[in-house]
């Protein structure tokens, strides 16, 4: 599935992924391919994206996550690049 | 007629001016490139945000949101205050850039006042602030700290209190006067109505995906709408910076070209005069010699 992580300033991540693990407002949420359409508000926490070539991690604060047509979109005003997580 | 020495001095001075304008042109070109990249990089976020809101907003929801609600005009008892955010540059020498924006702002202020609003000004950039202070207006907020690299935090800090005032029903309208960066050569001023939010509408009806919404749509919209407002402000800042550099480049390019033309004309006059003087001196010598022989 296609995953895009976008901040107001730029697209932080755009690519194919196997799984997304995000911190929603009420706890962690995992998205696997062919998830049903979903919109949720994100909390403060780590966003992990598993790709065939490894994993990416970001610190995200606020924003929201949308799943539609097997593509995941994460929009947040505060996204910090790879943490060591 | 100007003496040779005066001409020489003018040639030198215009040459120096050309050096300065050429340099400013090059600086603006490089700043423009970076500003343009930021405009392009900001597009995916705005696009995604629009699509998400279009999927979320339904007409019955619209009535319940402070940021979406359309207040009555002052003549019908609505809030009597309106805010106009004016973005200009901190520096001049950018052709008609700042005066175009100021003209647009004046037009909007007049229109809003005709509707019965008391207009509060939020000034970003020295040029616009300077002008409106000169004609005797006061500002609600003055920002000259946002330079060539506006960030999302800058945008948020400008609109935050306006959103609060609007949601509380104190403000009727919030408008943003900015440049619309259509291309390097086309950057007209324009006004964006920031509040109330004009919710984007879904492209096609009926195929709206059946979302699982968590939490409920009301809470979701409450989170997403401020993002939308802040993003409108951010885009305004970014586009205006790009437009500023674009018009400075154009202005400095034509200044450089004009200086070149001027130097050519002055050099021609200078050389003609020099030649005329030499010819005259020879003629005097020959005339003098002929008189002695005679």
Q: Which domain holds residue B230?
A: 33-249
What confidence score (pLDDT) does residue A85 get?
44
Concatenate the DSSP letters of all residues of B135-149 into one string: TT---SEEE----SS
Domain contains B255: no
Residue B1 has pLDDT above 60, yes or no: no
- Alpha-carbon gap, residue A44 to B223, rounded angstroms: 14
Domains and CATH numbers, chain A: 2-82 (2.60.15.10)
What confidence score (pLDDT) does residue B278 get?
93
Mean pLDDT, all residues of chain B: 88
Task: Look up residue B70 and give its two tokens.
Answer: 């359309």
Task: Look up the CATH number of the domain holding residue B182.
Answer: 3.40.1380.10
CA distances (Å), origin B99, targets B123, B148, B169, B238: 14, 19, 33, 19
Residue B294 has pLDDT above 90, yes or no: no
Domain contains B254: no
pLDDT tens track for B160-209: 989 988 888 888 899 999 999 998 888 899 998 888 887 777 655 545 66
Domain contains B99: yes
Query: How many domains, in total, are found in chain B?
Result: 1
Strands A2-6 and A71-75: parallel
Substitution target from B50, B156, B223 for chain A, most A beta carbons within 10 A? B223
Residues of chain B with C-beta less than 8 angstroms from the C-beta of A25: 215
DSSP character for B78? -
pLDDT tens track for B206-246: 456 677 877 887 888 888 888 889 999 999 999 999 999 99
pLDDT tens track for A4-35: 998 888 888 888 899 899 888 888 889 999 88
Strands A64-68 and B212-214: unpaired
| Region B47-53 average pLDDT | 85
Taking the CA atoms of residue B45, residue A10, residue B195 and residue B206 in that order, the dihedral angle to the nearest 10 degrees is: 0
Domain contains B83: yes
Assign B58 to helix, strand or coil: coil
* Nearest neighbour of B48 by CB, restricted to A24, A25, A75: A75
ipTM exceeding 0.90, yes/no: no
Task: Look up residue B129 and give its two tokens.
Answer: 């602030």
Domain contains B2: no
- Nearest-Cα distance to chain B for A43, in Å, is 11
Residues of chain A with C-beta less than 8 angstroms from the C-beta of B50: none
């Amino acid at each position: 599935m296609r995953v895009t992580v976008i901040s107001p300033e730029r697209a932080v991540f755009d690519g194919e992924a196997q799984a997304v693990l995000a911190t929603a407002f009420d706890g962690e949420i995992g998205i696997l391919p062919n998830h049903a359409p979903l919109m949720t508000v994100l909390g403060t926490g780590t966003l992990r994206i598993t790709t065939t070539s490894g994993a990416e991690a970001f610190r995200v604060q606020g924003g929201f996550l949308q799943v539609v047509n097997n593509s995941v979109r994460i929009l947040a005003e505060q996204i910090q690049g790879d943490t060591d997580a | 007629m100007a003496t040779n020495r005066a001409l020489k001095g003018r040639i030198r001075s215009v040459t120096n001016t050309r050096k300065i304008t050429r340099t400013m042109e090059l600086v603006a070109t490089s700043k423009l490139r970076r500003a343009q990249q930021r405009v392009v990089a900001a597009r995916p976020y705005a696009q995604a945000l629009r699509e998400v809101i279009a999927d979320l907003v339904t007409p019955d929801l619209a009535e319940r949101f402070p940021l979406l609600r359309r207040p009555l005009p002052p003549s019908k008892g609505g809030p009597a205050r309106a805010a106009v955010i004016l973005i200009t540059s901190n520096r001049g020498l950018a052709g008609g850039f700042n005066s175009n924006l100021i003209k647009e702002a004046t037009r909007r202020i007049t229109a809003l006042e005709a509707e019965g609003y008391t207009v509060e000004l939020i000034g970003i950039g020295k040029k616009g602030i300077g002008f409106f202070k000169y004609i005797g207006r006061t500002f609600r907020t003055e920002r000259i700290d946002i330079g060539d690299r506006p960030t999302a935090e800058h945008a948020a800090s400008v609109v935050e209190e306006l959103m609060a005032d609007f949601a509380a029903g104190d403000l009727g309208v919030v408008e943003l006067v900015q440049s619309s960066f259509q291309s390097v050569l086309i950057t007209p001023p324009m006004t964006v109505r920031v509040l109330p939010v004009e919710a984007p509408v879904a492209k096609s009806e009926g195929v709206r995906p059946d979302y699982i919404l968590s939490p409920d749509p009301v809470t979701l919209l409450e989170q997403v709408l401020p993002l939308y407002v802040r993003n409108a402000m951010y885009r305004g800042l970014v586009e205006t910076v790009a437009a500023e550099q674009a018009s400075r480049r154009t202005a400095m390019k034509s200044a450089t070209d004009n200086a070149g033309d001027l130097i050519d004309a002055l050099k021609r006059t200078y050389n003609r005069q020099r030649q005329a003087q030499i010819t005259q001196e020879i003629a005097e010598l020959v005339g003098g010699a002929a008189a002695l022989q005679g």
